[in-house]
Every structure is written in structure tokens, then in C-alpha cells.
Amino acid sequence: MTGDQLKEIQNRLAGSSAAMRRKDTAHGDMLDAADGYVTAWLLWQLQGNGEAQALFEGPDAVVLSNPAYQDQDIRLD
């Protein structure tokens, strides 16, 4: 998946979203290579977990500076 394809998919979503691509990892390999970002997003969105929220929100959002990822785009409503 290219960065442009990722943005196209994200543009179709309503509400808050987080999109990113792990470098050097094929889309089909993400289930084995993913770290805790998906879990953290769900903890924040579903349970209001503040520690998880800090990974995605604000100028120091961890996901924006993680060198293992590219094309990071966080959109919050």
C-alpha cells in the first residue's frame, strides 16, 4: 500500500482516525509486525485511557516521531 492509497482510504472515514505505514513491512505482514498502537487507539477511544491518548494527541504525539513508521496522519474530531 502506498502513502497515497492510505490517504485515500483515510479521507473516506468519518470521525477521528489515525493512519500510518510501518517501514519495510508489507501490508499482509502487519498482523505479525504491529506493535501496541492499535490497542492504544482502542483503549483511548473506547475507555478514555489518558496514557494511550498521549501517543496520538498533541505536538509530542509518539506516533508522529516513531522512526519505524512513515506517512503518519492523525485526525481528531
30-58 per-position pLDDT tens digit: 767 667 888 999 999 999 999 999 999 98
How is residue 32 written as a grid cell? Answer: 505479525
> pLDDT value at position 25?
84
Average pLDDT, rounded, for the chain: 89
59 — pLDDT class (breaks 50, 70, 90): confident
**In Å, how far from its chain's centre is CA 77?**
15
pTM: 0.76
Residues 72 and 77: their CA atoms lie apart, in Å, by 17
How is residue 71 written as a grid cell? Answer: 506517512
DSSP string, 54-66: HHHSSTT-HHHH-
How is residue 65 written as a grid cell? Answer: 516521531
As a whole number, mean pLDDT of residues 47-70 equals 93
- Which residue ranges make up each domain of the chain? 3-75
> From its phi and psi, is residue 66 left (phi > 0), alpha (psi between -120 and 50) or beta?
beta
Residues 55 and 28: their CA atoms lie apart, in Å, by 24
Answer yes or no: is pLDDT of 60 > 90. Answer: no
